[in-house]
Chain A
């Protein structure tokens, strides 16, 4: 059964870069049928897509965050990562990693999320 698990620092200082990792088990991130992405939920707000990684294809990023977001993969560890630069308090959120089924354009498996708090 496919499982995704986020990991990363719980606290980050303003202006720094936060790095999060999603470890995938039960499936390979190199499959061409899926994209692997990051979605966040700020306190009291809804879901916001950050971007998606595609092996052998094009990565997609949220246009409003594109200049600060980088998503990359490590096939040897079956992981993919998010880097978000120049963070501010507005980036405080629970960050989820998820698998997108390309054929259905739906995220069918999600991690439980990891809280990132931006504070000095």
Chain B
């Protein structure tokens, strides 16, 4: 259903780094800003990154975003147990699926 593809899961030990990819197309990632969200079940999703690589106030610089062409990446360094959550990329699609689209989601596990 989602037009943005993410890996189902990534994992690493505390203190290590993980990266999460988000693959789209020219009508969405290639044409619009990407945002990233952290979601712990039962809570409100939290905005981590907006406009591809900007962090809202209060988000630590351990979280970073980048974009190249039709793909985007979220990086988390200095992994902490509190980072264990689901992560979603999001953007707008200017094509047939016009509107907000989200990625398939990635579960981050801290080993």
Query: Taking beta carbons and an 8 Å cutoff, which residues of A are in contact with B?
Result: 37, 39, 45-49, 51-52, 60-64, 96, 98, 100-101, 104-108, 110-113
Contact = CB atoms under 8 A, between A and B. Distances in A.
Given A49-B100, A61-B99, A111 B105 contact: no
A63 B44 contact: no
Q: Pick the most buried of A46, A52, A110: most chain B CB atoms within 10 A of its CB.
A: A46
Given A49-B101, A52-B100, A107 B44 contact: no
A108 B50 contact: yes
A37 B97 CA distance: 17
Given A63-B99, A104-B33, A104-B35, A96 B90 contact: no
Interface of B: 1-2, 32-33, 35, 37, 39, 42-47, 50-51, 54, 56, 88, 90-92, 96-105
Chain A contact residues, majority secondary structure: strand
Contact of B99 (A47, A60, A110): A60
Contacts of B1: 45, 48
A107 B35 contact: yes
Nearest to A107: B47
Contacts of B97: 63-64
A103 B97 CA distance: 21
A47 B3 CA distance: 12
Contacts of B92: 105
A98 B35 CA distance: 14
Q: Give the 8 A-B residue pairs with the shortest CB-CB distance, closest first.
A: A106-B50, A106-B35, A49-B100, A110-B44, A47-B102, A46-B105, A104-B50, A112-B44
